[in-house]
Amino acid sequence: MVVTVPSTGASRRRARRIRPAYAFIAVPMLLLALFVLVPCLWGVALSFFHYDAIAPARFAGLANYARMGRDPQIAVSLQRTLTYVLLSVPLGLFLSLAVALVLNERWFRGRTLVRAIYFLPNVVSLVAVAFIWEWLFNPDSGLLNYALKRLSLPPQMWLGDPDWALPCVILVNVWHGLGFSVLVYLAGLQGISSAHLEAARIDGASRWQEIRYVVWPLLLPTTMFLTIMGVIGGFQAFQSVYIMTGGGPVDSTRVIVYYLWQVGFQRLEMGYASAIAVLVFATILTLTLVQWRYYGRRIEV
């Protein structure tokens, strides 16, 4: 076997070509390390200490993690978060795929305008969106109860009802993120070769069979991306809960990140809050790996 060793001149020329690339990515990588990697490592380290942001930190070992096992609010908050994810992710995927299928039809006029309209809520800050929806859900002056009264239906408490509060928050977040999911699905639909669809039509497939047996399998990579991002976003839900319900009523919307905020910034138990953050990270990582394995077995390469 002959081994070819690059000449010194070729290596130098290659190094000169690569050097500008390293120079371009050096500053972004430095900023990423300073503002993402270092804070993450600091948070993990802080989870092994008792720290109230005032007195010096005291080493606690695994005490914060042991405390999580005795804290009933951890299990309750995780259960609320899982409920949020299990309701919001499938609903968001179904609605976004349905809208994308309609907008992808050639007979649909004004598709570009409608796509922009659907994407507009995603551009608006979730804080502003939450304030607007909070007004819509107002039991006294909100438009939703006004519409119910016009239909001779009883008004609802909405955000003040423990049975309705979490579904209302889910509705707001699904509506806010619908435009992004629609555009991603549209990109996936436009990447499907027309030959697959024509072959299905020649074989006599109906529109529903075409979607189920041709379009849906080919959209699995897109669905995997949106599902993973939806689960991650669901476990990070905070802004809408903070503004619209404050974790209530009766803790019905106190998701895990909201509880983390209460522990860290209301009680000033920074060490325990960091341990909860590590738990959230571990949960998200585990669910992401499970989804990756699940979809990886079903996606045809």
Q: Are residues 77 and 117 in the same domain?
A: yes
> Would you give per-residue pLDDT tens digits along the chain (301 residues)?
445 555 566 677 777 778 887 888 888 889 988 988 998 999 999 999 999 888 888 999 999 999 999 999 999 999 999 999 999 999 999 999 999 998 888 777 777 777 778 788 888 889 999 999 999 999 888 899 999 999 999 999 999 999 999 999 999 999 999 989 999 999 999 888 888 888 888 888 888 888 888 889 899 999 999 999 999 999 999 999 999 999 989 999 999 999 999 999 999 999 999 999 999 999 999 999 999 999 888 875 5
Same domain, 185 and 103: yes
Same domain, yes or no: 97 and 208: yes
51 in any annotated domain: no
**pTM, whole model, 2 decimals?**
0.87
Is there a single domain that holds both residue 267 and residue 126?
yes
Going by C-alpha positions, the residue among 289, 274, 268, 290 that lies closest to residue 41 is 274
Are 21 and 114 in the same domain?
Answer: no
Q: Is 154 left (phi over 0), alpha (psi -120 to 50) or beta?
A: beta
Nearest CA-CA partner of 140 in 157, 122, 127: 157
Residue 80 in any domain: the answer is: yes
Residue 50: its H or E element:
strand 49-50
Do 121 and 221 belong together in one domain?
A: yes
Residues 178 and 227 in one domain: yes
Query: Looking at the domain assignment, is residue 61 inside a domain?
Result: no
Is residue 288 within 8 A of residue 110, CB to CB? The reply is no
Residues 221 and 111 in one domain: yes
CATH number at residue 108: 1.10.3720.10
- Domain span at residue 34 reads 8-46
- On whether both 29 and 146 belong to a single domain, the answer is no
Same domain (yes/no): 191, 120? yes
Whether residue 146 sits in one domain with residue 32? no
Indicate whether 301 belongs to any domain.
no
Asked if 117 and 32 sit in the same domain, the reply is: no
Q: Spell out a b/e string for 68-107, using b for 16 or more CB atoms within 10 Å of the CB, else e.
A: beeeeebeebbebbbbbbebbbebbbeebbebbbebbeee
Q: Does residue 55 belong to any structural domain of this protein?
A: no
The structural domain count of the chain equals 2
254 Cα distance to chain centroid: 17
Q: What b/e readout covers 114-137, taking b as 16+ CB neighbours within 10 angstroms?
A: ebeebeebbeeebeebbeebbebb
